[in-house]
Amino acid sequence: MNNSSVTITIDGETVEVDVGRTILDGCRSAGVDTPTLCHGDNLTPSNVCRVCVVEVEGSRTLVPSCSRPAEEGMVVATDSERVRHSRKMVLEFLGSAVDVSQARDVDHDSDLSVWSDHYGADPTRYGDQVAKSSAPLKREDDLYVRDYDKCVLCYKCVEACGDDAQHTFAIAVSGRGFDAHISTEFDAALPDSACVYCGNCVAVCPTGALQFTTEFDLRKAADWRPEDQHVARTVCSYCGVGCNLELHVQDNTIVKVTSPSDHDVTSGMLCIKGRFGWQYVQPRF
């Protein structure tokens, strides 16, 4: 141990973690798989989904590993009965209330269902009469489709729109409890809101609740084929800031643009031009 790192124990293994880094960081360096949903490397942890909880010795309740800084001597269990139970219940609760068919553990680049299966979550236990999210599909412009039936309220879009990146604050959580949802002021249509269509909310959405129209339409046509796509990293053609773009290409057509969340310049965030300004590339002749 030195001044810049702390030593913790995760599932019996000793792990060194840099000061200020989280238990989740420790789990990653120890090779301990931990599910995440509301976490994003480029966002302040909102620690709301609670799927990454772990047991820390001396702590009355479980602890969200994504936001809790590692402290010297912490003894962490990631696979105790309590941990497995809470993770199972969180996944089960979500499955019972929202459409998680497209939800992904972005950190693992895997479907969330992998974890649901792993922990034995069974959302059908609550019966079919239970309240579910029911929001109409919103397609208010040519760039976004918003399907809040898929929203798990992870807050990532709000953070990306707000002071983690874009500082536009077009959307926020409104309402309370089970009725809480993402909304503009008075549920104004997005084109009538502060939205500047940077697409950062869509980029960070882990559930498909927010989608680019290009992806939505291909999915609808059952023609969204990630296995046939390749991603090329390049530099945006607009201003001189040097944002890196990842062009997702299917059938020699750009179908989505993202930016690497670990890129120094963008931290995964783009503006409307970088995100959507590529459409001149192919259809020009």
Distance, CA of 155 to CA of 195 (rounded, Å): 16
255 binds another protein (CB under 8 A): no
19 binds another protein (CB under 8 A): no
Closest CA to 208 of 37, 1, 48, 15: 37
Q: Which is nearer to another protein, 7 or 184 (CB)?
A: 184
| CB half-sphere exposure, 76, CA atoms < 13 A | 32
Least CB distance to another protein at residue 53 (A): 5
By CB under 8 A, name the one of 18, 194, 217, 261 that touches another protein.
194
What angle separates helix 81-97 from helix 112-119, to the nearest 10 degrees? 130
Q: Which is nearer to another protein, 137 or 178 (CB)?
A: 178
191 binds another protein (CB under 8 A): yes
By CB under 8 A, name the one of 7, 11, 29, 50 that touches another protein.
50
152 binds another protein (CB under 8 A): yes
Partners of 172 in the β-ladder: 183
Instruction: Using DSSP, state whether 226 is helix, strand or coil.
Output: helix
Q: Which residues 103-142 are close enough to bind another protein by CB under 8 A?
A: 125-126, 129-131, 140-142
Partners of 256 in the β-ladder: 248
Q: Which residues 58-77 are close enough to bind another protein by CB under 8 A?
A: 61-62, 64, 67-68
6 binds another protein (CB under 8 A): no
CB 45 within 8 A of CB 39: yes
